[in-house]
Structure formats: C-alpha cells, structure tokens
Amino acid sequence: MKLQRLEAIRKLYFSLPLVPRDCPLCGGKSGSLLVRRDRYFLPIDVVECTDCGFVHASRNLDREGARQFYTSIYPWLIYRRPRAEAEYDLQKREQAAFRWQRILARIDRPDSVFELGCGDGHFLAEARRLGISQLAAVEPDSSSRAHIIASLGPETDLWGDLSDVPQKPLKSQLIAMFHVLEHLDDPLAVLRQLATDFEGWLVIEVPDLLGDWSMLGIQNFHLSHRSYFTPASLRALLAKAGFTVLHEEREGWETGIYPGNLRVLARRDAAGGDIASPDRPNVAAHIDTILHPWSLRTGYPRCAVRLTRLALS
C-alpha cells in the first residue's frame, strides 16, 4: 500500500501534466492571478477572468489525467472515513436530513429525484424515508453504487456517468448536485444538458468563495476544484444555462453543513428571482484577508505534513 501511494504521489507531481484552461463561463483566455498553487503546491493558477470575473483554475488536468487522478489518487488523497463507522454514517444522515429540511421549507415535496454525484446515497436514503419513490443518480464510484443498491434496493436507478443516463430520470421533479459543480471541467455544458426540457427544481451546493473559510485556509484550493463560485458567479453560470436562482442560502459558523456553504434553488427560465445582483465582488481582497499560505495551522506546512502522513500510513 505504501509503495502504491508513493507511486501515486510520483505520478501526481511528475506524470500528470497540467494544461491551460479557458474561462468556463465566457471562454476568456486571460485573468488576474489570485492563487498560484493549490494545497499540494501544484501550479493550478486560480485566476479571476478579465472579461467576466469568473474565478477558476486556469491550469488543470486533461481528460486522461483527470481519469487517472480520480481513479487512483483522489480516493486516498481526500481520505473518506469508512462508511461502516457509526459516527460518520450519523453525520452524513444528519446532513441529508438538514438538506431536505432546507429544500422542503421552499418547495413542495417532489415525487422523483435525480442526484448527480450521490456518494454513498444518504440524500437518496432520506428521500426514501420521506416517501419519495422514484430515485435515480449518477455516481462514478462503483463501490458507492454497490453500497446504495445493497441499502436501498435494486429499484434505485444508478449510472456511473451522466452520458449513460436516459431522458426520463433527467425529467425528475428535483435534480440535486451537492459539491459536484466545482469539480467539473465544463460545468456550463452539464447544466445545459440538465436544462433540456427540464421543468423541475434544481438544487445546488458549492463552496462559497466569499464565505468564511478561514479555518480551511489553503485547503480550500485544490486540484480537483476547477471553479470557485461566488453567489453572483453561480447565478451567472446558471443563467447562461437557462436557470434562474429563486432561493439562495449562505451558511456560517452557527448552522448548516459547514461555514462557507452556498445553496441555491433554481428553475429553468423562471420569471423573477428576488435576489439582487451586486457589483462584481472584490474577491482578491477577500482572499487576502482570509488566506495565510504559510500559517502552520491553515497553510502549506500543514498540508505538507498531512500529505506525508497519508503517503506513509
């Protein structure tokens, strides 16, 4: 195992080239540099697009590199607690119940749910507890898919890739994406695919670049995160795909999934949207205030220690 991890680290730093990447919102090719290196010191060049202000990694893995990264490196780099661990399971179930509580405070209970990137299926399991019968999801991790089938039964429709999903699940009354959008190379293309003939609600959670993620520090910047959303830029991306944000929640320290969590509910081509669009926020100033790259607690030194421990464990 140790040799496998050391080989994965070698691959991460020396065999997986980072290639230039245009702005995922407007296609712009230039931006002002905000953060050069991610938490593992990889040069992903997080920039604010000169043309539209969208914050994104302007260098990242190509398609094959991303495939190798997500299959052989990401699972242990992120370290997921064992699903059999009771405390982990309880935490995930409470998160799912909280999400449903927030959603049902805004909309009627749907009869069908499609989740993109469902992990171990806690959100779907809570939907089942609420009496929602039609459940469908995409989850690339095959062990998670097997776990869901074992716990929720074979009537749950699961696929490993969005391109394999037939039309019907995509017409569910609620489509959910929790901390998925920031990982996608082309989030606009995925949202446009979801928007095709869709008449339900879309619920999305992403990290809020303007939130208080000071306790995360440089950990907030990661090779696997390709987009860094503000409430305004998420609305802009959704609008370009044909969605209007009708409800928006930003979580802080006291309540919610975690500080700096941004949740929106959107509909396709809906009228209105009572959320004001502020001027382009000063993300550079916010990052300067919160990010202390050489802090022992939230900076590169802590990430280096963590990576070393993971590699040698």
Which of these ranges, 50-58, 100-108, 178-186, 189-197, lies near Zn ion under the rule CB under 5 A?
50-58
Residue 297 has which token pair? 């607690």
**Which residue among 8, 12, 21, 23 contacts Zn ion (CB under 5 A)?**
23
CB 43 within 8 A of CB 18: yes
The H-or-E segment that residue 122 falls in is helix 122-129
Q: Does 28 engage in binding with Zn ion (CB under 5 A)?
A: yes
Of 113, 153, 154, 119, the residue nearest 136 (C-alpha): 113
User: Quick one: 26 or 162, whose CB is closer to Zn ion?
Assistant: 26
**Which residue among 40, 54, 69, 228 contacts Zn ion (CB under 5 A)?**
54
Minimum gap (Å) between residue 22 Cβ and Zn ion: 8
Q: How far is Cα 77 from Cα 42, in angstroms, rounded to an integer? A: 14
User: Quick one: 53 or 217, whose CB is closer to Zn ion?
Assistant: 53
Give, in degrees to the nearest 5, the angle at Cα 124 between 122 and 127.
110
Which of these ranges, 48-56, 169-177, 192-200, 253-261, lies near Zn ion under the rule CB under 5 A?
48-56
Residue 160 CB-half CA count within 13 A: 7
Which of these ranges, 46-54, 98-106, 233-241, 251-259, lies near Zn ion under the rule CB under 5 A?
46-54
Which of these ranges, 23-31, 163-171, 266-274, 277-285, lies near Zn ion under the rule CB under 5 A?
23-31
CB 42 within 8 A of CB 61: no
Q: How far is Cα 114 from Cα 42, in angstroms, rounded to an integer? A: 34
Minimum gap (Å) between residue 51 Cβ and Zn ion: 5
**Which residue among 51, 64, 94, 288 contacts Zn ion (CB under 5 A)?**
51
Which of these ranges, 51-59, 107-115, 145-153, 203-211, lies near Zn ion under the rule CB under 5 A?
51-59
Which of these ranges, 44-52, 70-78, 85-93, 147-155, lies near Zn ion under the rule CB under 5 A?
44-52
Q: Does 46 engage in binding with Zn ion (CB under 5 A)?
A: no
Q: Does 49 engage in binding with Zn ion (CB under 5 A)?
A: yes
SS3 73: helix
Residue 64 Cα distances to 2, 20, 59, 236, angstroms: 24, 15, 15, 29
User: Quick one: 26 or 311, whose CB is closer to Zn ion?
Assistant: 26
**Which residue among 9, 18, 26, 188 contacts Zn ion (CB under 5 A)?**
26
Which residues of 214-284 form beta strands (DSSP E)? 227-228, 243-250, 261-268
Residues in region 57-116 near Zn ion by CB under 5 A: none
Q: Does 217 engage in binding with Zn ion (CB under 5 A)?
A: no
Minimum gap (Å) between residue 23 Cβ and Zn ion: 3
User: Quick one: 172 or 233, whose CB is closer to Zn ion?
Assistant: 233
CB 23 within 8 A of CB 50: no
User: Quick one: 25 or 216, whose CB is closer to Zn ion?
Assistant: 25
Q: How far is Cα 306 from Cα 300, in angstroms, rounded to an integer? A: 10
Residue 204 has which token pair? 């999305």
Minimum gap (Å) between residue 136 Cβ and Zn ion: 33
**Which residue among 9, 18, 52, 152 contacts Zn ion (CB under 5 A)?**
52
Minimum gap (Å) between residue 53 Cβ and Zn ion: 7
Which residues of the chain form beta strands (DSSP E)? 18-20, 31-35, 46-49, 55-57, 59-61, 112-116, 134-138, 157-159, 174-178, 201-207, 227-228, 243-250, 261-268
CB 260 within 8 A of CB 211: yes
Binding residues (CB under 5 A) for Zn ion: these are 23, 25-26, 28, 49, 51-52, 54
